[in-house]
Amino acid sequence: MALYARPVLPALRLLGPGGERAWARQPRITVGRRPISFSAGASGVFGSGGHSKKEKLFLQDVAELIRARACQRVVVMVGAGISTPSGIRDFRSPGSGLYSNLQQYNVPYPEAIFELGFFFHNPRPFFALAKELYPGNYRPNVIHYFLRLLHEKGLLLRLYTQNIDGLERASGIPASKLIEAHGSFASATCTVCRTPSPGEDFWADVLVDRVPRCPVCTGIVKPDIVFFGEPLPQRFLLHVVDFPMADLLLILGTSLEVEPFASLCEAVRSSVPRLLINRDLVGPLAWRPRSRDVVQLGDVVHGVERLVELLGWTEEMQDLIQQETGKLDGQDR
């Protein structure tokens, strides 16, 4: 689930003094590529002498680039659309989204549930929502396991997620590969003395409808998710290294509306393919497309399954899902 906030990261400048993108001033890392034979579309990504051409790419071309190991540093950006197949509602869908169904929590307006001022005045609505979002209530789906497979094949440079549900972790992707841009429920901290709180203690209170309190100072314990106006986690700054290094950007299940996360898709080099698998055409891929953009619109699960098929990974995916489902079934017993 993606938190619908516009978190502020004071240390990050998105625009330069003259309005230019600050990404342009970041150090660029030049990476050589070994010559390889591609289809007509795929060869347009890395032409002779490293110069790009203008041929349009398709999903098949992206799969061919991955299969040929021409793309070995894949950065992934994901949002709420990869968690809805697991049964987690997103925030903004009219009628069905969480923001449309917050009346039960007695909040003055939907966004208040993620505002610190309202939280300190009345934390119970937030913790009631947190109980509904308890990570143990949901399981990773095929999209999460596709990303896990990318990692196992040594292709995943980093996964940037807007989601706070922890399903990327639950799928087996190691923390070193994860940037949880809006934090997660995996840890919690006292809002007064900043003492860290074990996740199991936090959830023990939340699941019995009790406001978690710090054992040191009795302050309210808040999970380490980003509320409106809070800075993003320090690990988010890894983007200044990861995106210039990427040779493929995958964007899955996100509206690309929340900053500064949304602007990250502009940070890869212009020669790098950007593959969007999403319900709608969104963000810079809609209003400032690049010649190497590939767009697969519609159901995100179907789009990912099609890519997996083109990669020849279907059997491996089925084996991985069966293996991990068996583990989760064992934990539930």
Length of the chain counted residue by residue: 333
Residue 193, annotated as binding a ligand: yes
Nearest CA among 169, 186, 182 for reference residue 223: 186
Whole-angstrom Cα distance, residue 167 to residue 133? Answer: 11
State the DSSP string of 127-139.
HHHHHHT-GGG--
Query: What's the burial of 148, exposed, middle or buried (CB within 10 Å: 0-12/13-18/19+)?
Result: buried
For 208, residues 6+ apart whose C-beta sits below 8 A from its C-beta are none
Structure tokens at 20: 């230019």
Residue 265, annotated as binding a ligand: no
Residue 71, annotated as binding a ligand: no
Q: Where are the beta strands (DSSP E) in 210-254?
A: 221-225, 248-252
| Residue 124 CB coordination number (10 Å) | 13
Contact assessment for residue 254 and residue 78, using Cβ atoms and an 8 Å cutoff: yes
Structure tokens at 234: 């320090």
What stretch of H or E contains 188?
A: strand 183-190
Contact assessment for residue 225 and residue 186, using Cβ atoms and an 8 Å cutoff: no
Residue 214, annotated as binding a ligand: yes
In sequence order, what are the beta bridge partners of 77?
160, 251
Whole-angstrom Cα distance, residue 195 to residue 239? Answer: 28
Q: Where are the beta strands (DSSP E) in 103-155?
A: none
The catalytic residues are 182
Binding-site annotation, residues for Zn(2+): 190, 193, 214, 217
